[in-house]
Chains A and B, each alone.
Chain A
Amino acid sequence: MQISGAQMVIEALIAEGVEKVFGYPGGAIMNVYDEIYKQDKFEHILTRHEQAAVHAAEGYSKASGKVGVAMITSGPGFTNAVTGLADAYMDSIPLVVISGQVPMSLIGTDAFQEIDAVGISRSCTKHNYLVTDATELPRILKEAFYIAASGRPGPVHVDIPKDVTAQIAKFDYSIELDLETYKPHTKGNPRQIKKAMEAIAKAKRPLFYLGGGIINSNAAYEVRDLVHATGIPVVETFMARGTLSHDDEYLISMLGMHGSYAANMAMSETDLVIGLGARFDDRVTGKLSEFAKNAGVIHVDIDPASISKLVNADYPIVGDVKNVVEEMLKQSTNINPAKYASWREIIKNFDTLHPLTYHEDTDRLKPQWVIQRVGELLGDDANISTDVGQHQMWAAQFYPFTRPRQWISSGGLGTMGFGFPAAMGVKAASPDKVSINFTGDGSILMNCQELMTAVEKKLPVINIILNNNYLGMVRQWQTLFYEKRHSETDLSVQPDFVKLAEAFGGIGYRVTTKEEFDAALKDAIEKNIVAFIDVVVERLENVMPMVPAGGSLFNMMLLEKKEKK
Chain B
Amino acid sequence: MEKSERRVISVIVVNEASVLSRITDLFSGRGYNITSLTVAPIPDSKYSRLTIVTSGSVRVIEQITKQLHKLIPVLKVYEHADLVEKEMALIKFPVSENITDISTLCGAYNGKIVNVGDNVIIVMVADEPKRVDNFLKIINKYNPKEIVRSGAVALER
Spell out A's residues near B (CB within 8 Å).
Answer: 118-119, 122-123, 126-127, 130, 132, 147, 179-182, 303-305, 308-309
Contact = CB atoms under 8 A, between A and B. Distances in A.
Q: Is the interface of B mostly helix, strand, loop or mixed?
A: helix
Interface of B: 13-14, 17-18, 21-22, 25, 29, 59, 62-63, 66-67, 69-70, 72-75
Nearest to A143: B72
7 contacts: A118-B18, A119-B21, A126-B72, A127-B72, A304-B66, A305-B63, A308-B59
Contact of A122 (B14, B21, B59, B73): B21
Contact of A130 (B17, B25, B70, B74): B17
A304 B62 CA distance: 10
B18 A130 contact: yes
Nearest to A118: B18
Contacts of B67: 305
A78 to B, nearest CB: 16
Nearest to B69: A304
B25 to A, nearest CB: 5
B22 A181 contact: no
Contacts of B29: 123
Contacts of B63: 305, 309
Contact of B62 (A127, A181, A308): A308
A109 B55 CA distance: 38
Contacts of A132: 17
Given A181-B14, A304-B66, A308-B62, A147 B72 contact: yes
The 6 closest A-B pairs by CB, nearest first: A305-B66, A181-B75, A127-B72, A123-B29, A182-B72, A304-B66
A89 to B, nearest CB: 12
- Considering residues A123, A132, A180, which has the most beta carbons from chain B within 10 angstroms of its beta carbon? A123
Nearest to A307: B66
A181 B74 contact: yes
Contacts of A127: 72
B25 A180 contact: no
Nearest to B64: A305
B17 to A, nearest CB: 7
Nearest to A147: B72
A118 B22 CA distance: 10
Nearest to A304: B66
Contacts of B22: 122
Contacts of A181: 13-14, 72-75
A181 B70 CA distance: 10
A179 B74 CA distance: 10
A556 to B, nearest CB: 28
A211 to B, nearest CB: 18
Nearest to B74: A181
A305 B70 contact: yes
A153 B19 CA distance: 21
A180 B75 contact: yes
A201 B149 CA distance: 58
Contacts of B25: 122-123
A135 to B, nearest CB: 15
Given A122-B21, A304-B70, A308-B62, 15 more contacts: A119-B21, A122-B22, A123-B25, A130-B18, A147-B72, A179-B72, A181-B14, A181-B73, A181-B75, A304-B66, A304-B69, A305-B66, A305-B69, A305-B70, A309-B63
Contacts of B73: 181
A303 B72 CA distance: 13
Contacts of B13: 181
A179 B62 CA distance: 24
B140 to A, nearest CB: 41
Nearest to A180: B75
B24 to A, nearest CB: 10
A304 B67 CA distance: 9
B132 to A, nearest CB: 33
A303 B70 CA distance: 8
Contacts of A179: 72
